[in-house]
Structure 1
Amino acid sequence: MIQFVFPLFGRFHPILVHLPIGILLFGIILVFLSRKGQNTHLASIRLAFLFGGMAGVLSSVSGFLQYRYEGFTWDSVQFHFFLGLATTATAFWLYYELGKKEDFPSFFKAKSAALVALLMFTGHLGGNITHGETYLIEPLPAGMQQLLGYETGENTGPKLPAEGWEELAYYEHVVQPILNQNCKSCHNAKNHKGELDLSSYEALLQGGEDGSILSGGDAEASALFARLVLPKEDEDHMPPKDKRQLQKEEIELIRAWIALGGKTESKLGEADISVETLEPFMEKTEAPFYPSAEVPPLADETLKKLKTDGFFAETVDKESAWLMVSCVNYGQFADADWTKLKPASDQIAYLDLSGTQVTDQILDSIQSLPNLTVLKLNETDISGEKLSALQSNPNLKNLYLNKTQVSLPQLKALQNHPNLAKVFVFDTPASADESGGVFSFLLEKGNYRLPPLPTDTIVY
């Protein structure tokens, strides 16, 4: 009946360990606040070192019991344990040195500083045991981690290609990265808590203090999976509730691998899993919206001149040289005014001439903008006769022709444009044309109608 006392007292170690830290730090602070020849705080300092040493004894005993009953290996705790004893012994030594003296012994502040160093290093080793050696390193930027000598790519979880993932080795590319990210900090060759090492397949097969954790073909009978789906409040739930929890997709991938047999030879495509389950782990390469070409920023004087002429002109973001130019306050802009934009030809990526006096002739000038990405010609006299000129704008992606006279046949001049993705033709002859047609870009006609609702006919 009384056998539960020792394991229970061991579990109090994370609480008891803070007592000597707080008490000893209080005494050390008083040491450094005391000036030479002053002994105002001497009695308090004696008590702090005495009680701190006694709390250190309790903490060391509880720590040793936790090691014995919680599955920690001696290799993982020995330095922390011995440094804890050294910290406790140093506290008693400093108490003995003070004795009943009326003043501080020689070099007492230096000795107190050494005790601070012992406290910090002992606490650091304890943190490594409970949270893993990289606990303080993981939040740092990748560059800083590398500077400190840590490998940044090891514990980042699965990374799968969008194409060809079916041929990947399931364990190597999915299961082990999940274990590295979520379990390895506590279950590795150096710190195999519960006598369990999850840093390799061979170690995984050896199981832990409760035996095997993998039963190939039966996920529910495998502790590797079963503990993941226990309620967080359950003490057997893994990972512990104060640590990063696995995503539902990660848990499903573990389950599917075990159901497949739990072997290293299995291919990812052999498992009964959906692409939606894999999607969060697929590497996505998003092409930048604006051109990747390097252009020099527009001179401040030139930018100021554009604004003076009536244009709204700003860079698309703080780190970019690409310009957004609009005639929102320059409605009288006409074809002949194009010369005012020539100095910014290379930098203009977004041009809005909506509501201006331009005609089809302006397209001959616009084709001289090599980096133009968005062009808005809404509510202008554009008829569409010269749309083919925009084939000379290789980076054009979005074209707005709303409320113009553009027709559906004229839009065929833009067919097979290298980058054109969307053309907007709301309230134009093209939007009213029901003859259809297939284009290499998405044609947005508008004219959308919501289905009628029963409430639309209710008379209030």
Structure 2
Amino acid sequence: MKRALATLYLLLAALFAFAPLLFEAGEEASSPWTPFIASFHPLVLHLPIGLVAAVLALEFASIFNKHAETGARNFLWFLTALTASLSFATGYLLGEEGGYEKELLNDHLWAAGIFTSICWSTLAVNILKKNGFIRFLSLIAITATLVLASHPGGLMVHGDPFANAPWLAEEEETSPEAQYGILPLVPDPFNPYTDVVHPIIDAKCVSCHGPKKKKGKLRVDTYEALMLGGDFGPCIEPGDSYESLFVELMELPMDDEEHMPPEDEHQMTQEEIDVIKWWIDEGAKADVVMARAEAPAAILPFLVTGYRLLPEPTEEELAEAAEEEARKADEANRGNVEALLETVSAEVRDSVQFMSLTSSKLRFKPNGKAEDFDNDALEATKELVPNFVRIDLSDTAISNNALKHLKNAERLEILSLRNTEVDEDALEHLEDLENLESLNLYGTPTGDDILKELPTLPNLRTLYLGETKISTETIAKLQTKHPEVEIIGDLR
């Protein structure tokens, strides 16, 4: 009886090992039951994965317990093989409906078939009580094929999980026009798809149908992906825009829930819909080139310099974009600053800290006795000065001449000269520090001449003048001259 069962299981193993040879994607369903059964694949496919984890744990436990229940182990193997078979069958039917990348689908199907085959083979080996080495090899093979089957399956459904990985992110080379939603100048000659159609689709569709997110299993970020289609098969019918789902969804009424793009996204203009329809009717080709003088009426609106694909950005959006660019530049500079830190003395290195884990911005405060830190010590930091955003020189032995070493501190935001011998005569060295927001002169010998010596610092917002030689009258005049600055003096 055991030999007969083992033979049956081995036959099933052979069946699943070669089943992918019979597969053909895009076939018409021979029965209305086919798509119904196929729809259960997302549910069934998780069962063998969980059972494999359980049976691997049981097999591992049997290494330490030679009396582990063989019957329970075989039953788990039977359930694993059975659910793997159901998963393969439903996935096979689902794949036949089309809409999946051919290479990924082929890899997924073969790995799943071999995985299922090994499950049945391992069950047969257990029944025949073959030696442990064969079982050990089976466990390794099952684990490997499970990974090989899961990866392309996940890619087809969810996309590449590493698409958003920060360490793999590559900066796209985009023109300034494209960055702000303007169609780059169409060259002469030009490619209708590359120079007109693709930029439109990229601006209006890729955010939901691209490498990071592909709703309905549809990607439109490349020509090949666009022509492949998604859940409902091809969305472009070359030569027939009327029958193309891509156009049909764009032309639905705005209040129709199937309308694309969604109501809360940027909509296609009539000119954009017309040029896409023209391109499809002409065969939806990606390799056509024509002269601007030969351009049909549908393309003419896009030959005008400055055609806007997206609404003009608001001041807030422009500010956010500039801030994002600055952040990227800051992070890109991190490696350079780390290399510079290796070239300075240990005393300087111990006095600086990065502002964050990814930023190249530095804060500086002398590490050691403040009274031992003088002008020469500050000069030793000159290579790092352009990356300082906060400098605290409180209670140090620096003098006016020291501030000349800060002329290149273009990123500096906060500077504290508290309780030093620096006075108003040194402030001329700060005139180029456009990002300086806070200046602390508390406890310095600064006098009334600050009224004429304080340079115009466009971003200065806080000025500390307590315990100085500045009169209350001068502070009042300073406040009138610089109303945007909060001046904090003595409590009198």
TM-score calculated relative to the size of structure 1: 0.59
Which of 300, 321, 344 in structure 2 is aligned with 1:297?
Answer: 344
Which of 273, 284, 308 in structure 1 is aligned with 2:311?
Answer: 273
Q: Which moved more, 1:167-176 or 1:216-225?
A: 216-225
Contact 1:187 1:193 (8 Å CA) reproduced: yes
Alignment partners' CA distance in 2, 1:21 and 1:77: 19
Contact 1:34 1:40 (8 Å CA) reproduced: yes
What CA deviation, in whole Å up to 9, does each residue of 1:154-191 have, x standing for no partner?
A: 9x798857987645378526346534343389335476
What is the deviation of 1:321?
A: 7.8
Identity of aligned residues (%): 12
Which of 161, 167, 174 in structure 1 is aligned with 2:203?
Answer: 174
Unaligned runs of 5+ in 1: 146-151, 231-247, 304-312, 331-336, 449-460
Alignment partners' CA distance in 1, 2:271 and 2:230: 26
CA gap 1:177/1:98 in 2 versus in 1, 3 angstroms: closer
Structure 1 partner of 2:137: 110
What is the deviation of 1:320?
A: 7.7
What is the deviation of 1:131?
A: 1.6
Answering whether residue 84 of structure 2 is matched by residue 56 of structure 1, we say yes
Q: For 1:133-172, what aligned pairs fall within 5 Å after superposition?
A: 134-135=160-161, 137-142=162-167, 145=168, 152-153=169-170, 166-168=182-184, 171-172=198-199
The count of corresponding residues between Structure 1 and Structure 2 is 380
Contact 1:71 1:193 (8 Å CA) reproduced: yes
Structure 2 partner of 1:18: 46
Which of 363, 380, 399 in structure 1 is aligned with 2:400?
Answer: 363
Structure 1 partner of 2:3: none
Structure 1 partner of 2:26: none
Contact 2:463 2:486 (8 Å CA) reproduced: yes
Answering whether residue 475 of structure 2 is matched by residue 446 of structure 1, we say no
Structure 1 partner of 2:296: none
CA gap 1:322/1:73 in 2 versus in 1, 3 angstroms: closer
What CA deviation, in whole Å up to 9, does each residue of 1:388-444 have, x standing for no partner?
A: 652698799456366764467514x735xxx8742755775455238966xxxx774
Structure 2 partner of 1:323: 364
CA gap 1:183/1:15 in 2 versus in 1, 3 angstroms: closer
State the Cα RMSD in Å.
5.5
Contact 1:423 1:443 (8 Å CA) reproduced: no
Alignment partners' CA distance in 1, 2:57 and 2:37: 30
Higher helix share: 2
Unaligned runs of 5+ in 2: 1-30, 185-194, 277-298, 466-471
Alignment partners' CA distance in 1, 2:427 and 2:133: 92
Q: For 1:228-243, what aligned pairs fall within 5 Å after superposition?
A: 229=262
Contact 1:425 1:444 (8 Å CA) reproduced: no
CA gap 1:84/1:160 in 2 versus in 1, 3 angstroms: same
Which of 460, 463, 472 in structure 2 is aligned with 1:422?
Answer: 460
| Paired letter, 1:41 | E
Contact 1:7 1:66 (8 Å CA) reproduced: yes
Contact 1:166 1:270 (8 Å CA) reproduced: yes
Tell me, what secondary structure is at the counterpart of 2:120?
Answer: helix
What is the deviation of 1:275?
A: 0.8
Structure scoring higher RCO (CA < 8 A, sep ≥ 6) equals: 2
Tell me, what secondary structure is at the counterpart of 2:325?
Answer: coil
Which of 380, 404, 412 in structure 2 is aligned with 1:346?
Answer: 380
Tell me, what secondary structure is at the counterpart of 2:365?
Answer: strand
Structure 2 partner of 1:433: 477
Alignment partners' CA distance in 1, 2:430 and 2:309: 47
What CA deviation, in whole Å up to 9, does each residue of 1:298-324 have, x standing for no partner?
A: 444x99xxxxxxxxx942438888632
Alignment partners' CA distance in 2, 1:357 and 1:120: 61
What is the deviation of 1:44?
A: 2.7
Which of 231, 234, 241 in structure 2 is aligned with 1:194?
Answer: 231
Answering whether residue 436 of structure 2 is matched by residue 410 of structure 1, we say no
| Paired letter, 2:150 | G
Alignment partners' CA distance in 2, 1:346 and 1:226: 64
TM-score calculated relative to the size of structure 2: 0.56
Tell me, what secondary structure is at the counterpart of 1:400?
Answer: strand
Contact 2:51 2:80 (8 Å CA) reproduced: yes
